[in-house]
Structure 1
């Protein structure tokens, strides 16, 4: 709706058709103003529902089944939740959410294609890096024609290398290498040139990341603890050209985590942020992207 109010013709050949513009007599009418403000509120409400569900998913937090049942009749909540992959009491049983009843039951399409009803006390909307057989789940979702309002199963993921060998490969952003036992930063996304610090900060904000001081940051709850990933984006108010810096992770006390201590969700989301910022860099003519 985008906060807009539309009118339809009630007579003549155009009866029932939506008018391109509001008649002048209606533009400043109090009822139109109230409708416009209501439409804007609906848009904000829809965006807030998507943001909340995204937060549940990124953090893989348990969500009470009763809560999902209570909000399901709301079209905005239903749009944000519908077709998300959910996990109940059995962590190996993944299904796509299709409905919720007043009694607290969830209607799920499982990976066998069967519609089942579940009533666990809580469910999780798992981050895709935690989903087993993710490629199979994506293939099955494509067969069902599933689309998600909250990016989940098709979210770009990165898995932390297991063998501690080297802290990263700056020449290949797609291959950060294997973190050694002491390394605390990934340099795969350093050196991304931007015309100004403002342009880089604006890109970070537009992607949903917080800009604080000289960093773009993303807070993630991973394995019961909160971790903040951060990328250096330059001193505030600097007008000169800037380059993206290293990617690091910190705990709640501000301690830089050795890469080997970064959990799978925090690693994936940090790498996702670094890659997204780096992708907006200035590409000089004649050089590969």
Structure 2
């Protein structure tokens, strides 16, 4: 964005998300000032740029949230849509370097660009740049990526950084020796918190929904939506609490046997339970 004249010896512009000013006259003409002059604090152009900066920030966050939702659900995304939004720097920042899979399972690579013709440019594990143009692609949840370790190593070699946590997202694989009738996991139960409010606040800060006595997250796992839930204590209880068991429910509210929980729902539920448990009070001293 270029500099806009305020008509009183100054120009203003957005620089790295903040309103900046520079003088148009005198010895400092053309030089960016360290702070906004007092005369510009209430100027309409400054106010307009601030509102625009706030919109850009909300737009950026919305792009990241949408791409994260595509990745967690592993839903097919139209290739043409990705190519259309790529010129937008906010979308591009959220999408760049995510692992993309085309129609052929071997069409796997890190997304590095998109063309006007609707092609996606990927860097594969051989270090080659390839172009694919299937009708849809997926941005798979990492638990579904068979070459996850290789992808992590390759990304580290190239210094890739993903804004949407994908290949470095914490994953949990479902054990194969689960009991047929078991409906809960207690690996992260028993984490002590000084108050139910503190535990609920931690859940909310991590992006999880607090409903009744539970912290929950909804995950599309294959063809159905599953809700993972961790008990965090009765609402309005003002004493200490402990994290409870983790369980999963289908859309009808039926508790799912663990053997019926899909790989993505299992991983995301365990990720939530582990993140809540990590904030527990840890006793120090001889009796810890």
Fold equivalence (TM over 0.5) = yes
Gapped regions of structure 1 (runs ≥ 5): 164-178
Note if contact 1:249-1:262 (Cα within 8 Å) is conserved in structure 2. yes
Measured in 1, the distance between the counterparts of 2:21 and 2:213 equals 48
Return the alpha-carbon distance in structure 1 between the equivalents of residues 192 and 47 of structure 2: 45
2:15 aligned with 1:16: no
User: Secondary structure in 2 aligned to 1:275?
Assistant: helix
**TM alignment of 1:80-119, pairs within 5 A:** 80-119=94-133
Residue 191 (1) aligns with residue 185 (2): no
The runs of 5 or more residues in structure 2 that have no matched partner are 1-14
Cα displacement (A) at 1:12: 3.5
Asked if residue 127 in structure 1 is aligned to residue 141 in structure 2, the reply is: yes
How many residues are treated as equivalent by the alignment?
Answer: 273
Q: 1:266 to 1:288 in 2, by over 3 A?
A: farther
Deviations 1:208-238 (A, max 9, x none): 1111111111100011110000111111122
Q: Retained in 1: the 8 A contact 2:192–2:243?
A: yes
- The alpha-carbon deviation at position 43 of structure 1 amounts to 0.4
Which SS does the other structure have where 2:188 is aligned? coil
The aligned residue for residue 175 of structure 1 is: none
Contact kept? 1:185, 1:248, Cα under 8 Å = yes
Partners of 1:2 and 1:39 within 8 A in 2? no
Query: Over aligned residue pairs, what C-alpha RMSD do you find?
Result: 1.8
Q: State TM-score, norm by structure 2.
A: 0.90
1:154 equivalenced with 2:153 (yes/no)? no
Please say if 1:74 is aligned against 2:73. no
Computing the radius of gyration from Cα coordinates, the structure with the larger value is: 2
Which residue of structure 2 lines up, in the alignment, with residue 246 of structure 1?
245
SS in 1 for 2:19: coil
Cross-structure match for 2:6: none
> Residue 287 and residue 72 in structure 1: after superposition, are their counterparts in 2 closer, same or farther (change >3 A)?
farther
2:222 counterpart residue number: 223
Q: CA deviation at 1:17?
A: 3.6
* Secondary structure at 2:226 match in 1: strand
- CA deviations over 1:228-253 (Å, ceiling 9, x no partner): 00111111122111111110000000
Alpha carbons of structure 1 residues 53 and 88: separation in structure 2 relative to 1, 3 Å: same
Q: How many Å apart are 1:7 and its aligned residue?
A: 2.5
Query: Secondary structure at the residue paired with 2:275?
Result: helix
Whether the aligned pair in 1 keeps the contact of 2:20 and 2:32 (CA below 8 Å) is no
Cross-structure match for 1:54 = 68
Encode CA deviations 1:100-133: one digit per residue, 9 max, x unaligned: 1111110111111110111000000000000012
Task: Map Cα deviations across residues 240-286 of structure 1 (whole Å, 9 max, x no partner).
Answer: 11111110000000001011111000000000000000000111113
Q: Displacement, 1:2?
A: 8.8
Deviates more, 1:147-156 or 1:24-33: 24-33
Query: Is the partner of 1:253 in helix, strand or coil?
Result: coil
Which 4+ residue blocks in structure 1 deviate beyond 4 angstroms?
none
